[in-house]
């Protein structure tokens, strides 16, 4: 039965129903719909808007529906949307009392409330997965404390660093995602229920009571905004998108670093795939797929932003398009975060290749210039002298590590014998002890701060 059929002479066409219905996807909101309806019924009873025994019947009826759906005894089907389904089912079970549930309520404030309850819990699920990944990255950082890795700028080797620094950098990104999720969850926790169709209601409802029952911080202060606000969904899609952006960067680095050209890390066989034709191949399908799914999640953000663009106040049916993208953004992002956490737990490091790379390609040149500058040469001049050393080494096919003390001396009197120690990758990494820097001691400090901060969420 349609909730609104009284006004119509002819039934809707089957095709129009199929086009209009949202039940195939909004049935996912069944728990939230029942929870919100129970709170609404309690409030109607407490405010004397419906008789107490009707209120009790409604609550009992809704609770029975809840357990029947949970037990698989009741299929959610045969209605326009989840709200109509619940009301029809309630009336079928308890009769006329069920028809009173929709007093002082509209599907417009109902759907906004249900969807907010859903997104609020989705933040909890997203945060759990983000935490899992931060912990996995922190464990890699701990394993990397004694290892070296070249740091890159412009994808050209730049400076040697403690390998843990790389993993901590990603942990910092996902910690920001956690913090963003927490602040968005806080901002969205305002209740639309009681806004009615758009303008509020003439019944003496108590919106503060329903807000408290449903765990909202307060009822919304403007009913027009309340029924048409979908900022919370856009923000969720953005939180998911930025987490995917961070994942895609991590994937890109992992794909590069596990290639034979780099050879720093090795993905375990359990998280790798092969080729149907090339027997030698070991492919990084999982990071590639995560990188690919980033586009899909961004798509949901842009779809939603476009849907809410230029929507006149207040509720318009366009807003029914808000749900599927969010459901998929949540599912995809969580799946990606979880599989990445697992993959990292099983990733291994090629110590020798990492050490060799960290010292190669004149990665230690900055330390040569710093050496001269610390001995009194203006840094710009020290940079020029070191540049000349690099140029000569390139021409003579030499490395900074193969240079003798006497060779250095030819470029500046300031060089002492210790320069040959200074140009070792390990020493360069160990020297960067500044707060937030890449020395093992700084990385250790960063790691314990990460482990402390992640506990807050």
Give the nearer residue to ligand ARG in terms of CB position, either 81 or 328. Answer: 81
Give the nearer residue to ligand ARG in terms of CB position, either 3 or 145. Answer: 3
Q: Which are the contacts of 247, defined by CB distance < 8 A and separation ≥ 6?
A: 290, 291, 294, 336, 337, 340
Cα–Cα nearest to 308, from 294, 295, 326: 326
438 noted as active-site residue = no
Give the nearer residue to ligand ARG in terms of CB position, either 108 or 386. Answer: 108
Give the nearer residue to ligand ARG in terms of CB position, either 108 or 136. Answer: 108
What does the alpha-carbon distance between residue 453 and residue 457 come to, in Å, rounded to a whole number?
8
What does the alpha-carbon distance between residue 388 and residue 424 come to, in Å, rounded to a whole number?
19
What does the alpha-carbon distance between residue 331 and residue 244 come to, in Å, rounded to a whole number?
12
Give the nearer residue to ligand ARG in terms of CB position, either 111 or 220. Answer: 111
Closest approach of Cβ 115 to ligand ARG, in Å? 8
154 noted as active-site residue = yes
Rounded to 10 degrees, the C-alpha dihedral 6/7/11/13 comes to -130
Cα–Cα nearest to 388, from 369, 415, 406, 371: 369
State residue 192 phi and psi, 5-degree precision: -80, -25
Closest approach of Cβ 319 to ligand ARG, in Å? 5
Question: Which residues are near ligand ARG by CB under 6 A?
Answer: 22, 26, 81, 107-108, 111, 315, 317, 319-320
Describe the chain by its helix, strand, coil percentages, rounded to 5.
65, 5, 30
Q: Do residues 313 and 224 lie in contact, with contact meaning Cβ atoms separated by under 8 Å?
A: yes
What does the alpha-carbon distance between residue 248 and residue 242 come to, in Å, rounded to a whole number?
10
Give the nearer residue to ligand ARG in terms of CB position, either 26 or 370. Answer: 26
What does the alpha-carbon distance between residue 102 and residue 40 come to, in Å, rounded to a whole number?
9
What does the alpha-carbon distance between residue 33 and residue 40 come to, in Å, rounded to a whole number?
10
Cα–Cα nearest to 149, from 344, 369, 404, 432: 432
Closest approach of Cβ 317 to ligand ARG, in Å? 6
Catalytic one among 275, 402, 441, 448? 275
Closest approach of Cβ 442 to ligand ARG, in Å? 51
Q: Do residues 31 and 66 lie in contact, with contact meaning Cβ atoms separated by under 8 Å?
A: yes
Active site residue ranges: 154, 275
């Amino acid at each position: 039965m349609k909730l609104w059929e009284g006004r119509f002479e002819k039934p809707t066409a089957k095709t129009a129903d199929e086009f209009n219905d949202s039940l195939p996807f909004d049935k996912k909101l069944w728990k939230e719909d029942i929870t919100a309806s129970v709170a609404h019924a309690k409030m109607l009873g407490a405010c004397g808007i419906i008789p107490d025994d009707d209120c009790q019947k409604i609550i009992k009826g809704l609770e029975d529906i809840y357990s029947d759906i949970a037990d698989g005894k009741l299929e959610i089907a045969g209605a326009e949307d989840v709200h109509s389904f619940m009301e029809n089912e309630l009336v079928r079970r308890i009769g006329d009392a069920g028809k009173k549930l929709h007093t002082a309520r509209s599907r417009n404030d109902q759907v906004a409330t249900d969807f907010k309850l859903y997104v609020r819990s989705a933040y909890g699920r997203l945060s759990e997965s983000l935490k899992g990944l931060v912990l996995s990255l922190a464990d890699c950082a701990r394993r990397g404390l004694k290892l070296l890795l070249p740091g890159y700028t412009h994808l050209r080797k730049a400076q040697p660093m403690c390998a843990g620094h790389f993993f901590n950098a990603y942990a910092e990104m996902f910690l920001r995602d956690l913090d963003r999720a927490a602040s968005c969850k806080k901002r969205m926790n305002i209740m639309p229920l009681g806004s009615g169709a758009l303008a509020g209601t003439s019944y003496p409802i108590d919106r503060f009571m329903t807000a408290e029952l449903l765990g909202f911080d307060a009822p919304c202060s403007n009913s027009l905004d309340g029924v048409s606000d979908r900022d919370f969904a856009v923000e969720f899609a953005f939180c998911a998108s930025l987490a995917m952006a961070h994942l895609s960067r991590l994937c890109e680095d992992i794909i590069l670093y596990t290639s034979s050209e780099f050879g720093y890390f090795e993905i375990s066989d359990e998280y790798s795939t092969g080729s149907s034709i090339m027997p030698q191949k070991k492919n990084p399908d999982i990071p590639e797929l995560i990188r690919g799914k980033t586009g899909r999640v961004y798509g949901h953000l842009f779809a939603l932003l476009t849907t809410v663009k230029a929507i006149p106040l207040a509720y318009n049916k366009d807003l029914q398009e808000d749900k599927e993208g969010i459901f998929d953004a949540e599912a995809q992002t969580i799946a990606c975060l979880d599989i990445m956490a697992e993959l990292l737990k099983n990733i291994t490091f090629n110590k020798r290749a990492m050490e060799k790379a960290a010292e190669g390609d004149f990665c230690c040149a900055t330390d040569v210039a710093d050496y001269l500058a610390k001995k009194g040469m203006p840094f710009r001049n020290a940079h020029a002298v070191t540049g000349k050393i690099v140029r000569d080494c390139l021409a003579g096919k030499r490395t900074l590590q193969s240079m003798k003390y006497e060779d250095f001396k030819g470029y500046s009197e300031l060089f002492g014998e210790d320069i040959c120690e200074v140009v070792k990758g390990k020493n360069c990494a160990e020297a960067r002890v500044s707060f937030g820097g890449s020395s093992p001691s700084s990385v250790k400090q960063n790691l314990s701060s990460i482990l402390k901060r992640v506990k807050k969420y």
